[in-house]
Amino acid sequence: MPCEYCDADVERGCSSAAGSSDCLREQLRDAQANERQPTLVDHAESELAALPGRRTNNRIMLERDVVALVALFEAQRHSGSSARFVTDALDRLLRWKPLVPSDPA
């Protein structure tokens, strides 16, 4: 019977049974591909759903708006310093704060 990862005969010592790093890497890749990783949108939806209080029509519309903004941010695939720059700039701009302090001269 052949191994589904390395095609070796399982009964004669498949490389996965012997610990071949190539075969084990393939198995790990397959396992990870089958596990759906939570997204930033999933996190936002979960956090918004956990907020206390009644979910009125107005609140539901606001939650959808927040999720849409999070989805856009996620689609832009920011990470590390670019994510920090975008979130910091967006936070300041949405609060009508300047990005650069004005010159007191």
pLDDT in tens, the chain (105 residues): 666 666 666 566 555 544 555 566 666 677 667 777 889 999 999 999 999 999 999 999 999 999 999 999 999 998 889 999 999 999 999 999 999 988 776
pLDDT, position 104: 73
d(CA 5, CA 18): 13
pLDDT, position 18: 47
What helix, strand, coil percent values describe the chain, rounded to 5? 60, 0, 35
Please return the burial class of 24, using the count of CB atoms within 10 Å of its CB with bins 0-12, 13-18 and 19+.
middle
